[in-house]
Structure 1
Amino acid sequence: MDRWYTVAGLMIAMLIVAYYTSSSTLELVATTTGLLCVWLTARENIWCWPIGLINTTCFFFMFFESKLYADMTLQIVFFLLNVQGWMIWLTKKAGSKVRPTRRMTPWMWMAAPVFIVVLTIGWGYVLTGFTDASIPYADAFIATLSIVAQILLSNKILENWTFWIIVDVLSVGMYAYKELYAVAFLYLIFLGIAVGGLYSWKKEYLEVGKRQGGIFHAR
């Protein structure tokens, strides 16, 4: 996944899938920029953030058209977290191109499940009672997991990839159900990149820890 021709090949595959599934231009732009963004993120390339801003804007309008309102609202949160992540990755670099990778703290592990359960139930309830959302609670659950993953990613925390892997698996099923086949295929690719991202980030984290004489933790 580290070579430029890998992502080029994946984009060509996306174009082929989009053609045979009669995907809209908006869906095509959203999926290709999303693919490029995640690939750059796995490589710890700072350009993932400006590409991400374009991607979230496209997905906002695409999800509005598909009545996936939780995912639509999520893009606003993602847009803000992209701006935050761009700034955070450029701070405390310690001579590196971007901020060093950190780990989740015990309080983060305790807070995350509570946040996920409460927000999913509340969000799903609102979508059920006040919108014509297609699959409100599933949509809300995946959206909530995505928020947690994006917060961790913006703060350069290794475990973001674990959450993204779960999100990607669930998203493939949801988008296939909504007949957004190009997006479903995109999330299948995201799954592979997320697994690779977890491996490469963890390797980099351990190497930095060895050079510093011990593994550091998120502060």
Structure 2
Amino acid sequence: MNKPITMAALCLAMLAVAYFTSSTMLEMSATITGLLSVWLTARENIWAWPIGLINVSCFFYMFWDVKLYADMTLQVFFLILSIYGWVVWLTKRGSGRVRPTRRISRGLAIGLFMLLPLATWGWGAWLAAYTDASIPYLDAFIATLSLIAQYLLSYKILENWYCWLLVDVLSVGMYAYKELYAVAFLYVIFLVIAAAGLYSWRKQWRASNGVNGGYGEIAAMHEGEISYER
């Protein structure tokens, strides 16, 4: 199927869900721009970043309204990382449209793995103690993992998609619980796009590094780890 037609069909589906669930105009705007941004990201299209800036602005006000304060604060970080990612994707790209895909280094992976539970606990405890947050620890976990995923995405690191897959699964349940049905449905679509993005980026990385998986891929990852640059 033609990709623009597929994208148009997804947008129409989102509008239909938003209409039948009595979603607000703000929620509709957030879902449509979010869908466009993730779809363009999976296709490694630089327009994902400016559309993403509009998306995070919509989500900031929407999460404030439903008292998901960790997610609301997250949009500020997303705004900063989106601007930074926009710049990074356009550097060290050679003859390509954007910077080539990288793999995560061992040191960075360990550091982020240790950061996730600590940041979740601290953020969740603060939300529980000082705000009227609805589900503080789950909200904080999803927000922290989303921030890690966005950081990896800004540096065009393949493993960002594994983080997004987990974020999407958890977000479907949380937003359905908060009766943000259009947003919950959006994250179902995000889940599918994230899986497609992982497949596409992994295929592109293998082709550019001349590996077919297995030991060759592991060896290439270690080599990339040694020469990893921001």
CA-based RMSD: 1.5
Using the TM superposition, give the Cα deviation of residue 2 of structure 1 relative to its aligned residue in structure 2, in angstroms.
Answer: 7.3
Alpha carbons 1:2, 1:43 under 8 Å: kept:
no
**What does the per-residue CA deviation read over 1:73-116, in whole Å, with 9 as the maximum and x for residues that have no partner?**
00000000000000000000021000000000001121112110
Give TM-score scaled by structure 1 length.
0.97
Counterpart for residue 45 of structure 1: 45
TM-score w.r.t. structure 2 length? 0.92
Report which stretch shifted further, 193-202 or 112-121: 112-121
Cα distance in structure 2, aligned partners of 1:192 and 1:47: 20
Is 2:17 the counterpart of 1:20? no
Where do 1:104-183 residues align within 5 Å? 104-183=104-183
Q: What is the identity, as a one-letter code, of the residue corresponding to 2:40?
A: L
Residue aligning to 2:86: 86
What is the Cα deviation at residue 130 of structure 1?
0.4
Is 1:195 aligned with 2:195? yes
Give CA-to-partner distance per residue, 1:130-188, whole Å, 9 cap, x none: 00000000000000000000000000000000000000000000000000000000000
Identical pairs, percent:
60
Q: AA paired with 2:155?
A: N
The count of corresponding residues between Structure 1 and Structure 2 is 218
Task: Provide the rounded CA distance (Å) in 2 between the counterparts of 1:210 and 1:5.
Answer: 33
Q: Decide whether aligned partners of structure 1 residues 2 and 103 sit closer, same or farther in structure 2, where only a CA change above 3 A counts.
A: farther
**Counterpart AA for 2:75:** Q
The 5-angstrom pairing of residues 27-42 of structure 1 reads: 27-42=27-42
SS in 2 for 1:179: coil
Aligned to 1:56: 56
Q: C-alpha distance in 2, partners of 1:56/1:86?
A: 14
SS in 2 for 1:157: coil
Tell whether the 8 Å contact from 1:36 to 1:48 is kept in structure 2 after alignment.
Answer: yes
Structure 2 Cα separation of the partners of residues 7 and 191 of structure 1:
15
Q: 1:204 to 1:2 in 2, by over 3 A?
A: farther
**For residue 76 of structure 2, what is the amino acid of its counterpart?**
I
Q: Distance in 2 between matches of 1:193 and 1:74?
A: 21
Alpha-carbon distance change, 113 to 84 in structure 1, aligned in 2, over 3 angstroms: same
Question: Could you tell me how far apart the structure 2 residues matched to 1:172 and 1:29 are?
Answer: 18
